[in-house]
């Protein structure tokens, strides 16, 4: 398994690990559901901003080790984006379920609290992540539901190879599938605040409105939204007319 384990500034003795599920920002491979509505290069730049702001959010947590889990082919491209102190680890297998399984197989040891976090919710309040780690101290697992039936974070203190084998990964049934597998494994589940990630146009419109009011929540993404403000406005008008 390839990895970058530069340790400068990384709290390697921490019992808390936040692992960002990411891809290299290559045109046509990220935020694909936005591509029909926005230029390809704009969507790629948007994802790069989301990832940069997500890393900044992660690094604002005190005493937490930060890592990225990604497809094997993306490791070398993500290492310079991750920067010092953030390890970049290649997942075993293909797809999101394999990536999540790899997170806990790789990092779970000695009852460490590991949370896998998506790369497109950088506008999440830091306190939600802090509380998720606290919740995990008292439960076998923790999950942060999204409004569309998925989840933006999932945590555990051990590796459970069958936890992500439920139907619906990446769909509106993802959360139900995860909870079903957790019940089968007799795991206790703590629940973090519900939130939303950025998958479709409506999500982007909502994000634009929030960052217009509070750009410091995700500053790189806020700058992108200013640059593409006219295009986002047209998306909003088009959606309102449906």
Task: Give the closest residue to 121 by CA, choosing from 20, 236, 233, 17.
Answer: 20
Q: What are residue 78's DSSP bridge partners? A: none
Q: Please say whether the beta carbons of 86 and 19 come within 8 A.
A: no
**Which CATH number, 2.40.50.180, 3.40.190.10, 3.30.300.30, 3.90.550.10, labels domain 3-199?**
3.90.550.10
* Share of residues in the chain with pLDDT > 70 (%): 89
Q: Count other C-beta atoms under 10 Å from residue 138's C-beta.
A: 9
Lowest mean pLDDT among 20-29, 62-71, 172-181, 230-239: 230-239
Encoded tokens for 68: 């990225």
* Tens digit of each residue's pLDDT (9 = 90 or more) over 27-45: 999 999 999 889 999 999 9
* Tens digit of each residue's pLDDT (9 = 90 or more) over 157-178: 999 999 998 656 666 789 999 9
Locate the domains of the chain by residue range. Answer: 3-199
Q: Please say whether the beta carbons of 15 and 64 come within 8 A.
A: no
In terms of pLDDT, which residue wins out, 169 or 206?
206
Predicted TM-score (pTM) of this structure: 0.89
């Amino acid at each position: 398994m390839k990895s970058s384990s530069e340790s400068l500034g990384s709290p390697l003795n921490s019992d808390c690990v936040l692992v960002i599920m990411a891809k290299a920002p290559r045109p046509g491979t990220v935020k694909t559901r936005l591509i029909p509505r926005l230029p390809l290069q704009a969507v790629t730049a948007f994802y790069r901003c989301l990832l940069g702001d997500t890393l900044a959010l992660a690094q604002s947590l005190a005493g937490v080790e930060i890592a990225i889990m990604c497809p094997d082919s993306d490791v070398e491209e993500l290492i310079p984006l991750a920067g010092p102190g953030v390890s970049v680890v290649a997942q075993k297998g293909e797809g999101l379920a394999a990536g999540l399984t790899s997170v806990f197989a790789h990092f779970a040891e000695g009852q460490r609290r590991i949370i896998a976090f998506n790369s497109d919710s950088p506008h999440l309040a830091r306190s939600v992540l802090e509380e998720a780690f606290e919740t995990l101290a008292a439960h076998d697992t923790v999950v942060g539901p999204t409004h569309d039936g998925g989840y933006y974070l999932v945590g555990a203190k051990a590796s459970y190879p069958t936890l992500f084998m439920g139907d619906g990964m990446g769909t509106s049934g993802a959360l139900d599938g995860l909870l079903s597998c957790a019940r089968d494994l007799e795991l206790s589940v703590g629940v973090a605040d519900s939130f939303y990630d950025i998958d479709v146009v409506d999500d982007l419109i909502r994000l634009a409105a929030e960052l217009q009011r509070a750009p410091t929540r995700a500053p790189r993404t806020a700058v992108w939204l200013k640059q593409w403000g006219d295009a986002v406005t047209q998306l909003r008008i088009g959606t309102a007319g449906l």
